Amino acid sequence: MAEIKQVGVLGAGLMGHGIAQVAAEAGYEVVLREVDDATLAKGVGKIEKQLARAVEKGRASQEDADAVRGRIAGTTDYKDLAGCDLVIEAITESLPLKLEMWAEVDAIAGPEAVFATNTSSLAVIDQAASTSRPAQFVGLHYFNPAQVMKLVEVVRCVTTSDEAFETALGFARSENKLAIPTKDKAGFIVNRLLVPYMLDAMRAYEEGVGSVAEIDEATLAKGLAKIEKQLGRAVEKGKSSQEDADAVRGRISGTTDYGDLADCDLVIEAITESLPLKLEMWKQVDAIVQPEAVFATNTSSLAVIDQAASTSRPGRFVGLHYFNPAQVMKLVEVVRAVTTTDEAFETALQFARSEGKLAIPTTDKAGFIVNRLLVPYMLDAMRAYEEGVGSVAEIDEAMKAGAGHPMGPLTLADFVGLDTLGSICDVLFDEFRERRFARPPTLRKMLSAGWFGRKSGLGFYDYSGEEPRENPAF
Protein backbone atom coordinates (compact mmCIF):
# COMPACT_ATOMS: atom_id res chain seq x y z
CA MET A 1 0.00 0.00 0.00
CA ALA A 2 1.46 3.33 -1.13
CA GLU A 3 2.11 6.03 1.47
CA ILE A 4 0.05 9.20 1.04
CA LYS A 5 1.34 12.51 2.34
CA GLN A 6 -0.06 15.07 -0.08
CA VAL A 7 -3.51 14.99 -1.65
CA GLY A 8 -4.63 16.91 -4.72
CA VAL A 9 -8.30 17.81 -5.10
CA LEU A 10 -9.59 18.97 -8.48
CA GLY A 11 -12.58 21.26 -8.14
CA ALA A 12 -13.52 23.43 -5.15
CA GLY A 13 -17.26 23.33 -5.74
CA LEU A 14 -20.08 21.46 -3.98
CA MET A 15 -18.08 18.26 -3.35
CA GLY A 16 -14.47 19.33 -3.88
CA HIS A 17 -14.19 21.83 -1.04
CA GLY A 18 -15.65 19.27 1.38
CA ILE A 19 -13.29 16.52 0.21
CA ALA A 20 -10.35 18.90 0.64
CA GLN A 21 -11.46 19.83 4.15
CA VAL A 22 -11.90 16.20 5.22
CA ALA A 23 -8.42 15.29 3.95
CA ALA A 24 -6.86 18.28 5.76
CA GLU A 25 -8.71 17.38 8.97
CA ALA A 26 -7.16 13.89 8.71
CA GLY A 27 -3.69 15.51 8.68
CA TYR A 28 -2.92 15.46 4.94
CA GLU A 29 -1.38 18.35 3.05
CA VAL A 30 -3.91 19.34 0.38
CA VAL A 31 -3.59 21.13 -2.95
CA LEU A 32 -7.03 22.39 -4.04
CA ARG A 33 -7.16 23.32 -7.73
CA GLU A 34 -9.82 25.36 -9.52
CA VAL A 35 -10.14 26.90 -12.97
CA ASP A 36 -9.94 30.54 -11.83
CA ASP A 37 -9.24 32.64 -8.75
CA ALA A 38 -12.86 33.65 -8.17
CA THR A 39 -14.16 30.06 -8.07
CA LEU A 40 -11.21 28.99 -5.93
CA ALA A 41 -11.83 31.82 -3.45
CA LYS A 42 -15.49 30.83 -3.21
CA GLY A 43 -14.57 27.21 -2.38
CA VAL A 44 -11.92 28.16 0.15
CA GLY A 45 -14.42 30.59 1.70
CA LYS A 46 -16.83 27.71 2.25
CA ILE A 47 -14.11 25.72 4.04
CA GLU A 48 -13.30 28.68 6.29
CA LYS A 49 -16.99 29.14 7.08
CA GLN A 50 -17.34 25.44 8.02
CA LEU A 51 -14.26 25.59 10.25
CA ALA A 52 -15.51 28.75 11.96
CA ARG A 53 -18.85 27.08 12.61
CA ALA A 54 -17.09 24.06 14.14
CA VAL A 55 -15.22 26.39 16.53
CA GLU A 56 -18.41 28.30 17.36
CA LYS A 57 -20.24 25.07 18.23
CA GLY A 58 -17.38 23.72 20.31
CA ARG A 59 -16.56 20.86 17.94
CA ALA A 60 -13.04 22.20 17.28
CA SER A 61 -10.60 24.59 18.90
CA GLN A 62 -9.45 27.71 17.05
CA GLU A 63 -5.95 26.25 17.02
CA ASP A 64 -7.12 23.04 15.32
CA ALA A 65 -9.23 24.96 12.80
CA ASP A 66 -6.25 27.15 11.92
CA ALA A 67 -4.08 24.05 11.49
CA VAL A 68 -6.61 22.47 9.10
CA ARG A 69 -6.83 25.67 7.07
CA GLY A 70 -3.05 25.89 6.99
CA ARG A 71 -2.81 22.46 5.37
CA ILE A 72 -4.91 23.56 2.36
CA ALA A 73 -3.14 25.36 -0.47
CA GLY A 74 -5.27 26.78 -3.28
CA THR A 75 -4.10 26.96 -6.88
CA THR A 76 -5.26 27.41 -10.47
CA ASP A 77 -2.13 25.75 -11.89
CA TYR A 78 -2.08 22.00 -12.60
CA LYS A 79 1.72 22.03 -12.05
CA ASP A 80 1.18 22.45 -8.30
CA LEU A 81 -0.20 18.88 -8.25
CA ALA A 82 3.16 17.42 -9.31
CA GLY A 83 4.10 16.26 -5.79
CA CYS A 84 0.72 14.74 -4.85
CA ASP A 85 0.53 11.06 -3.92
CA LEU A 86 -3.23 10.93 -4.49
CA VAL A 87 -5.30 13.12 -6.83
CA ILE A 88 -9.09 13.15 -6.42
CA GLU A 89 -11.28 14.81 -9.05
CA ALA A 90 -14.58 16.39 -8.05
CA ILE A 91 -15.40 18.56 -11.05
CA THR A 92 -18.62 18.80 -13.09
CA GLU A 93 -20.20 15.38 -13.85
CA SER A 94 -19.26 15.49 -17.53
CA LEU A 95 -17.08 12.75 -19.03
CA PRO A 96 -15.53 14.97 -21.75
CA LEU A 97 -14.53 17.57 -19.13
CA LYS A 98 -13.08 14.91 -16.84
CA LEU A 99 -11.08 13.31 -19.67
CA GLU A 100 -9.69 16.68 -20.70
CA MET A 101 -8.68 17.36 -17.10
CA TRP A 102 -7.03 13.95 -16.64
CA ALA A 103 -4.95 14.50 -19.79
CA GLU A 104 -3.47 17.58 -18.14
CA VAL A 105 -2.94 16.01 -14.72
CA ASP A 106 -1.56 12.72 -16.06
CA ALA A 107 1.27 14.55 -17.78
CA ILE A 108 2.25 16.36 -14.56
CA ALA A 109 1.66 14.06 -11.57
CA GLY A 110 4.35 11.60 -10.48
CA PRO A 111 4.12 8.11 -12.03
CA GLU A 112 3.48 6.51 -8.62
CA ALA A 113 0.49 8.76 -7.80
CA VAL A 114 -2.96 7.18 -7.48
CA PHE A 115 -5.82 8.88 -9.33
CA ALA A 116 -9.40 8.81 -8.04
CA THR A 117 -12.73 10.06 -9.37
CA ASN A 118 -15.58 11.19 -7.15
CA THR A 119 -18.11 10.45 -9.92
CA SER A 120 -21.53 9.34 -8.72
CA SER A 121 -22.71 7.92 -12.04
CA LEU A 122 -20.02 7.59 -14.71
CA ALA A 123 -18.06 4.37 -15.27
CA VAL A 124 -14.67 4.61 -13.56
CA ILE A 125 -13.01 2.58 -16.33
CA ASP A 126 -13.86 5.24 -18.92
CA GLN A 127 -11.67 7.71 -17.03
CA ALA A 128 -9.02 5.17 -16.03
CA ALA A 129 -8.48 4.02 -19.62
CA SER A 130 -7.81 7.58 -20.75
CA THR A 131 -4.72 7.84 -18.53
CA SER A 132 -1.28 6.24 -18.61
CA ARG A 133 -2.01 4.58 -15.23
CA PRO A 134 -5.28 2.59 -15.43
CA ALA A 135 -4.00 0.22 -12.73
CA GLN A 136 -3.59 3.16 -10.32
CA PHE A 137 -7.09 4.50 -10.90
CA VAL A 138 -10.02 4.05 -8.49
CA GLY A 139 -13.34 5.59 -7.56
CA LEU A 140 -13.68 7.46 -4.25
CA HIS A 141 -17.34 8.40 -4.09
CA TYR A 142 -18.01 10.78 -1.22
CA PHE A 143 -21.52 11.89 -0.27
CA ASN A 144 -22.74 15.44 0.18
CA PRO A 145 -21.80 17.12 2.46
CA ALA A 146 -18.46 15.31 2.57
CA GLN A 147 -17.59 16.86 5.95
CA VAL A 148 -20.67 15.21 7.49
CA MET A 149 -21.58 12.07 5.57
CA LYS A 150 -19.78 8.99 6.87
CA LEU A 151 -19.78 6.84 3.74
CA VAL A 152 -17.20 6.64 0.97
CA GLU A 153 -17.76 4.05 -1.76
CA VAL A 154 -14.35 2.77 -2.88
CA VAL A 155 -14.79 1.60 -6.46
CA ARG A 156 -12.57 -0.95 -8.12
CA CYS A 157 -12.66 -0.97 -11.91
CA VAL A 158 -11.42 -3.88 -14.03
CA THR A 159 -7.93 -2.35 -14.36
CA THR A 160 -7.39 -1.33 -10.71
CA SER A 161 -4.45 -3.07 -9.04
CA ASP A 162 -4.72 -4.57 -5.56
CA GLU A 163 -2.14 -2.06 -4.28
CA ALA A 164 -4.04 0.99 -5.60
CA PHE A 165 -7.34 -0.33 -4.25
CA GLU A 166 -5.87 -0.99 -0.79
CA THR A 167 -4.27 2.48 -0.85
CA ALA A 168 -7.65 4.07 -1.55
CA LEU A 169 -9.40 1.99 1.12
CA GLY A 170 -6.73 2.84 3.67
CA PHE A 171 -6.92 6.53 2.80
CA ALA A 172 -10.71 6.69 3.24
CA ARG A 173 -10.48 4.85 6.54
CA SER A 174 -7.74 7.23 7.73
CA GLU A 175 -10.32 10.01 7.29
CA ASN A 176 -12.57 8.11 9.71
CA LYS A 177 -14.96 7.25 6.90
CA LEU A 178 -16.96 4.07 6.46
CA ALA A 179 -15.14 2.80 3.39
CA ILE A 180 -17.32 0.30 1.52
CA PRO A 181 -15.66 -1.54 -1.38
CA THR A 182 -17.77 -1.91 -4.51
CA LYS A 183 -17.47 -2.67 -8.19
CA ASP A 184 -17.57 -0.38 -11.19
CA LYS A 185 -21.24 -0.90 -11.98
CA ALA A 186 -23.68 1.89 -12.77
CA GLY A 187 -24.68 3.73 -9.60
CA PHE A 188 -22.30 1.65 -7.44
CA ILE A 189 -24.33 0.67 -4.33
CA VAL A 190 -26.23 3.68 -2.98
CA ASN A 191 -27.31 5.34 -6.23
CA ARG A 192 -28.04 1.92 -7.72
CA LEU A 193 -30.78 1.62 -5.06
CA LEU A 194 -31.62 5.22 -4.19
CA VAL A 195 -32.25 6.61 -7.68
CA PRO A 196 -34.88 3.99 -8.67
CA TYR A 197 -36.45 4.51 -5.23
CA MET A 198 -36.81 8.26 -5.87
CA LEU A 199 -38.06 7.68 -9.42
CA ASP A 200 -40.68 5.29 -8.05
CA ALA A 201 -41.81 8.09 -5.73
CA MET A 202 -42.33 10.32 -8.76
CA ARG A 203 -44.27 7.59 -10.57
CA ALA A 204 -46.39 7.03 -7.47
CA TYR A 205 -47.22 10.74 -7.44
CA GLU A 206 -48.08 10.61 -11.15
CA GLU A 207 -50.36 7.63 -10.49
CA GLY A 208 -52.22 9.60 -7.79
CA VAL A 209 -51.19 7.34 -4.91
CA GLY A 210 -50.77 10.26 -2.50
CA SER A 211 -51.27 14.08 -2.28
CA VAL A 212 -52.50 0.66 6.15
CA ALA A 213 -60.84 -12.01 17.08
CA GLU A 214 -58.44 -14.96 16.76
CA ILE A 215 -59.06 -18.49 15.57
CA ASP A 216 -58.31 -20.47 18.75
CA GLU A 217 -57.58 -20.03 22.45
CA ALA A 218 -53.86 -20.84 22.15
CA THR A 219 -53.26 -18.22 19.47
CA LEU A 220 -55.35 -15.68 21.36
CA ALA A 221 -53.42 -16.32 24.57
CA LYS A 222 -50.12 -15.88 22.73
CA GLY A 223 -51.26 -12.51 21.35
CA LEU A 224 -52.49 -11.27 24.73
CA ALA A 225 -49.22 -12.36 26.32
CA LYS A 226 -47.30 -10.22 23.83
CA ILE A 227 -49.43 -7.21 24.80
CA GLU A 228 -48.79 -7.89 28.50
CA LYS A 229 -45.05 -8.23 27.83
CA GLN A 230 -44.99 -4.88 26.01
CA LEU A 231 -46.92 -3.20 28.82
CA GLY A 232 -44.58 -4.72 31.40
CA ARG A 233 -41.57 -3.44 29.50
CA ALA A 234 -43.08 0.06 29.34
CA VAL A 235 -43.50 0.06 33.11
CA GLU A 236 -39.98 -1.31 33.61
CA LYS A 237 -38.48 1.48 31.45
CA GLY A 238 -40.51 4.21 33.13
CA LYS A 239 -42.56 4.98 30.03
CA SER A 240 -45.79 4.06 31.81
CA SER A 241 -47.06 3.61 35.36
CA GLN A 242 -48.30 0.22 36.54
CA GLU A 243 -51.73 1.77 37.01
CA ASP A 244 -51.87 2.96 33.39
CA ALA A 245 -50.61 -0.40 32.11
CA ASP A 246 -53.27 -2.24 34.09
CA ALA A 247 -55.94 0.13 32.72
CA VAL A 248 -54.83 -0.55 29.13
CA ARG A 249 -54.86 -4.30 29.68
CA GLY A 250 -58.29 -4.01 31.32
CA ARG A 251 -59.71 -2.44 28.16
CA ILE A 252 -58.78 -5.47 26.03
CA SER A 253 -61.14 -8.45 25.92
CA GLY A 254 -60.12 -11.61 24.10
CA THR A 255 -62.55 -13.90 22.30
CA THR A 256 -62.76 -16.69 19.77
CA ASP A 257 -66.42 -15.98 19.02
CA TYR A 258 -67.35 -13.60 16.17
CA GLY A 259 -70.60 -12.94 18.06
CA ASP A 260 -68.68 -10.82 20.58
CA LEU A 261 -68.00 -8.26 17.81
CA ALA A 262 -71.71 -7.48 17.33
CA ASP A 263 -71.67 -4.08 19.05
CA CYS A 264 -68.34 -2.82 17.71
CA ASP A 265 -68.34 0.54 15.92
CA LEU A 266 -65.12 -0.24 14.03
CA VAL A 267 -63.75 -3.66 13.08
CA ILE A 268 -60.14 -3.91 11.83
CA GLU A 269 -58.88 -7.14 10.32
CA ALA A 270 -55.20 -8.09 10.64
CA ILE A 271 -55.24 -11.79 9.72
CA THR A 272 -53.03 -13.67 7.25
CA GLU A 273 -52.42 -11.79 3.98
CA SER A 274 -54.65 -14.13 1.94
CA LEU A 275 -57.65 -12.75 0.06
CA PRO A 276 -59.70 -15.98 0.26
CA LEU A 277 -59.20 -16.15 4.05
CA LYS A 278 -60.11 -12.47 4.46
CA LEU A 279 -63.26 -12.84 2.34
CA GLU A 280 -64.35 -15.88 4.35
CA MET A 281 -63.80 -13.92 7.59
CA TRP A 282 -65.71 -10.82 6.38
CA LYS A 283 -68.65 -13.01 5.39
CA GLN A 284 -68.97 -14.16 9.00
CA VAL A 285 -68.36 -10.72 10.54
CA ASP A 286 -70.67 -8.87 8.12
CA ALA A 287 -73.62 -11.00 9.19
CA ILE A 288 -73.08 -10.24 12.89
CA VAL A 289 -71.81 -6.67 13.33
CA GLN A 290 -74.26 -3.75 13.49
CA PRO A 291 -74.94 -2.16 10.07
CA GLU A 292 -73.57 1.26 11.13
CA ALA A 293 -70.12 -0.14 11.92
CA VAL A 294 -67.12 0.71 9.74
CA PHE A 295 -64.96 -2.16 8.50
CA ALA A 296 -61.21 -1.74 7.91
CA THR A 297 -58.50 -3.97 6.50
CA ASN A 298 -54.86 -3.76 7.58
CA THR A 299 -53.74 -5.32 4.30
CA SER A 300 -50.35 -4.15 3.08
CA SER A 301 -50.79 -5.25 -0.52
CA LEU A 302 -54.28 -6.47 -1.47
CA ALA A 303 -56.83 -4.18 -3.11
CA VAL A 304 -59.24 -2.80 -0.49
CA ILE A 305 -62.12 -2.87 -2.98
CA ASP A 306 -61.87 -6.66 -3.34
CA GLN A 307 -62.74 -7.02 0.35
CA ALA A 308 -65.20 -4.10 0.46
CA ALA A 309 -67.23 -5.50 -2.43
CA SER A 310 -67.66 -8.83 -0.67
CA THR A 311 -69.61 -7.19 2.18
CA SER A 312 -73.03 -5.59 2.46
CA ARG A 313 -71.39 -2.24 3.32
CA PRO A 314 -68.83 -1.31 0.62
CA GLY A 315 -69.46 2.36 1.40
CA ARG A 316 -68.35 1.83 5.01
CA PHE A 317 -65.16 -0.05 4.17
CA VAL A 318 -61.63 1.46 4.33
CA GLY A 319 -58.00 0.47 4.62
CA LEU A 320 -56.13 1.16 7.87
CA HIS A 321 -52.57 0.05 7.13
CA TYR A 322 -50.47 0.04 10.30
CA PHE A 323 -46.74 -0.64 10.23
CA ASN A 324 -44.78 -3.15 12.29
CA PRO A 325 -44.48 -2.81 15.25
CA ALA A 326 -47.79 -0.94 15.50
CA GLN A 327 -47.00 0.17 19.08
CA VAL A 328 -43.93 2.04 17.82
CA MET A 329 -44.42 3.02 14.20
CA LYS A 330 -46.09 6.40 13.82
CA LEU A 331 -47.64 6.02 10.36
CA VAL A 332 -51.06 4.69 9.42
CA GLU A 333 -52.04 4.78 5.74
CA VAL A 334 -55.79 5.47 5.53
CA VAL A 335 -56.95 3.99 2.23
CA ARG A 336 -60.05 5.12 0.37
CA ALA A 337 -61.54 2.51 -1.97
CA VAL A 338 -63.72 3.63 -4.89
CA THR A 339 -66.81 2.76 -2.83
CA THR A 340 -65.77 4.42 0.46
CA THR A 341 -68.07 7.24 1.58
CA ASP A 342 -66.73 10.56 2.85
CA GLU A 343 -68.21 9.83 6.27
CA ALA A 344 -66.51 6.44 6.62
CA PHE A 345 -63.20 7.85 5.39
CA GLU A 346 -63.31 10.75 7.86
CA THR A 347 -64.21 8.32 10.66
CA ALA A 348 -61.14 6.23 9.86
CA LEU A 349 -58.86 9.28 9.60
CA GLN A 350 -60.03 10.66 12.93
CA PHE A 351 -59.72 7.26 14.60
CA ALA A 352 -56.07 6.93 13.52
CA ARG A 353 -55.33 10.50 14.63
CA SER A 354 -56.98 9.84 18.01
CA GLU A 355 -54.36 7.12 18.52
CA GLY A 356 -51.61 9.70 18.10
CA LYS A 357 -50.72 8.32 14.67
CA LEU A 358 -49.66 10.19 11.56
CA ALA A 359 -52.70 9.40 9.41
CA ILE A 360 -51.85 9.76 5.72
CA PRO A 361 -54.74 9.48 3.24
CA THR A 362 -54.07 7.49 0.09
CA THR A 363 -55.91 5.81 -2.75
CA ASP A 364 -56.54 2.10 -3.29
CA LYS A 365 -53.59 1.40 -5.59
CA ALA A 366 -51.26 -1.58 -5.25
CA GLY A 367 -48.81 -1.03 -2.38
CA PHE A 368 -50.49 2.25 -1.34
CA ILE A 369 -47.63 4.75 -0.70
CA VAL A 370 -44.94 3.11 1.43
CA ASN A 371 -44.85 -0.39 -0.04
CA ARG A 372 -45.23 1.02 -3.55
CA LEU A 373 -41.80 2.63 -2.97
CA LEU A 374 -40.19 0.40 -0.36
CA VAL A 375 -40.72 -3.02 -1.94
CA PRO A 376 -39.01 -2.18 -5.28
CA TYR A 377 -36.18 -0.64 -3.23
CA MET A 378 -35.66 -3.89 -1.28
CA LEU A 379 -35.93 -5.95 -4.48
CA ASP A 380 -33.34 -3.69 -6.13
CA ALA A 381 -31.00 -4.35 -3.19
CA MET A 382 -31.33 -8.09 -3.85
CA ARG A 383 -30.58 -7.57 -7.55
CA ALA A 384 -27.59 -5.40 -6.65
CA TYR A 385 -26.30 -8.30 -4.53
CA GLU A 386 -26.90 -10.73 -7.41
CA GLU A 387 -24.97 -8.40 -9.75
CA GLY A 388 -21.98 -8.43 -7.41
CA VAL A 389 -22.23 -4.75 -6.54
CA GLY A 390 -21.52 -5.54 -2.88
CA SER A 391 -22.00 -8.13 -0.15
CA VAL A 392 -25.17 -8.28 1.94
CA ALA A 393 -23.54 -6.38 4.81
CA GLU A 394 -21.81 -3.88 2.49
CA ILE A 395 -25.09 -2.99 0.76
CA ASP A 396 -26.81 -2.49 4.12
CA GLU A 397 -23.99 -0.42 5.60
CA ALA A 398 -23.72 1.70 2.45
CA MET A 399 -27.40 2.64 2.48
CA LYS A 400 -27.34 3.43 6.20
CA ALA A 401 -24.30 5.67 5.91
CA GLY A 402 -24.88 7.12 2.43
CA ALA A 403 -28.65 7.63 2.46
CA GLY A 404 -29.19 8.18 6.17
CA HIS A 405 -31.50 5.17 6.49
CA PRO A 406 -31.73 3.68 10.00
CA MET A 407 -31.78 0.14 8.60
CA GLY A 408 -30.26 -1.33 5.44
CA PRO A 409 -32.61 -2.69 2.74
CA LEU A 410 -31.71 -6.36 3.27
CA THR A 411 -32.00 -6.11 7.06
CA LEU A 412 -35.34 -4.41 6.47
CA ALA A 413 -36.45 -7.26 4.18
CA ASP A 414 -35.64 -9.75 6.95
CA PHE A 415 -37.56 -7.60 9.45
CA VAL A 416 -40.64 -7.29 7.20
CA GLY A 417 -40.54 -11.03 6.50
CA LEU A 418 -39.37 -12.43 3.17
CA ASP A 419 -42.63 -14.36 2.77
CA THR A 420 -44.63 -11.16 3.28
CA LEU A 421 -42.32 -9.33 0.88
CA GLY A 422 -42.84 -12.08 -1.71
CA SER A 423 -46.62 -11.77 -1.41
CA ILE A 424 -46.52 -7.99 -1.79
CA CYS A 425 -44.25 -8.05 -4.81
CA ASP A 426 -46.56 -10.62 -6.46
CA VAL A 427 -49.47 -8.19 -6.05
CA LEU A 428 -47.39 -5.30 -7.40
CA PHE A 429 -46.19 -7.37 -10.36
CA ASP A 430 -49.75 -8.46 -11.18
CA GLU A 431 -50.82 -4.80 -11.10
CA PHE A 432 -47.96 -3.20 -13.04
CA ARG A 433 -46.33 -6.07 -15.01
CA GLU A 434 -42.89 -4.49 -14.64
CA ARG A 435 -39.65 -6.34 -13.93
CA ARG A 436 -38.76 -4.21 -10.92
CA PHE A 437 -41.75 -5.65 -9.04
CA ALA A 438 -40.95 -9.32 -9.83
CA ARG A 439 -39.34 -11.68 -7.32
CA PRO A 440 -35.54 -11.77 -7.85
CA PRO A 441 -34.02 -15.28 -8.06
CA THR A 442 -32.42 -14.86 -4.61
CA LEU A 443 -35.80 -14.19 -3.00
CA ARG A 444 -37.42 -17.16 -4.77
CA LYS A 445 -34.66 -19.51 -3.58
CA MET A 446 -34.77 -18.22 0.00
CA LEU A 447 -38.53 -18.74 0.20
CA SER A 448 -38.16 -22.27 -1.18
CA ALA A 449 -35.61 -22.95 1.55
CA GLY A 450 -38.02 -21.68 4.22
CA TRP A 451 -35.83 -18.66 5.02
CA PHE A 452 -38.35 -15.98 5.91
CA GLY A 453 -36.01 -13.58 7.75
CA ARG A 454 -36.09 -12.70 11.43
CA LYS A 455 -39.33 -14.61 12.08
CA SER A 456 -37.79 -17.93 10.97
CA GLY A 457 -34.31 -17.23 12.36
CA LEU A 458 -32.64 -17.18 8.95
CA GLY A 459 -32.79 -14.77 6.04
CA PHE A 460 -30.08 -12.52 4.70
CA TYR A 461 -28.79 -12.73 8.26
CA ASP A 462 -28.59 -15.56 10.79
CA TYR A 463 -30.50 -14.69 13.98
CA SER A 464 -29.62 -17.80 15.97
CA GLY A 465 -26.97 -16.06 18.12
CA GLU A 466 -27.02 -13.07 20.41
CA GLU A 467 -26.31 -10.72 17.50
CA PRO A 468 -27.39 -11.14 13.85
CA ARG A 469 -24.60 -12.15 11.50
CA GLU A 470 -24.51 -12.47 7.74
CA ASN A 471 -26.04 -15.73 6.55
CA PRO A 472 -23.07 -18.02 5.74
CA ALA A 473 -24.85 -18.99 2.51
CA PHE A 474 -24.12 -15.50 1.21
Asked if residue 119 lies in contact with residue 139, where contact means CB atoms within 8 angstroms, the answer is: yes
Q: Please identify every residue annotated as catalytic.
A: 321
The domains located in the chain, with CATH, are 6-188 (3.40.50.720), 257-363 (3.40.50.720), 370-470 (1.10.1040.10)
* CA–CA separation, 325 and 226 (whole Å): 12
Distance of alpha carbon 152 from alpha carbon 142, whole angstroms: 5
pLDDT tens series, the chain, 474 aa? 678 999 999 999 989 999 999 999 999 999 999 999 999 999 999 999 999 999 998 989 999 999 999 999 999 999 999 999 999 999 988 999 999 999 999 999 999 999 999 998 899 999 999 999 999 999 999 998 898 888 899 999 989 999 999 999 999 999 999 999 988 888 888 878 877 777 777 666 666 654 424 557 778 888 888 899 989 988 998 988 999 989 989 888 888 889 999 999 999 999 888 888 899 999 999 999 999 999 999 998 889 999 999 999 999 999 999 988 888 889 999 999 999 999 999 999 999 999 999 999 999 988 888 888 888 899 999 999 998 888 999 999 988 888 888 899 999 999 989 998 998 888 888 888 888 889 999 998 899 888 999 989 999 999 998 899 999 888
- Radius of gyration over every alpha carbon of the chain, rounded to an integer in angstroms: 28
Q: Under a CB-based contact definition with an 8 Å cutoff, are residues 143 and 190 in contact?
A: yes
Nearest to 202 by CA among 372, 337, 382, 323: 372
User: What's the whole-model pTM score?
Assistant: 0.60
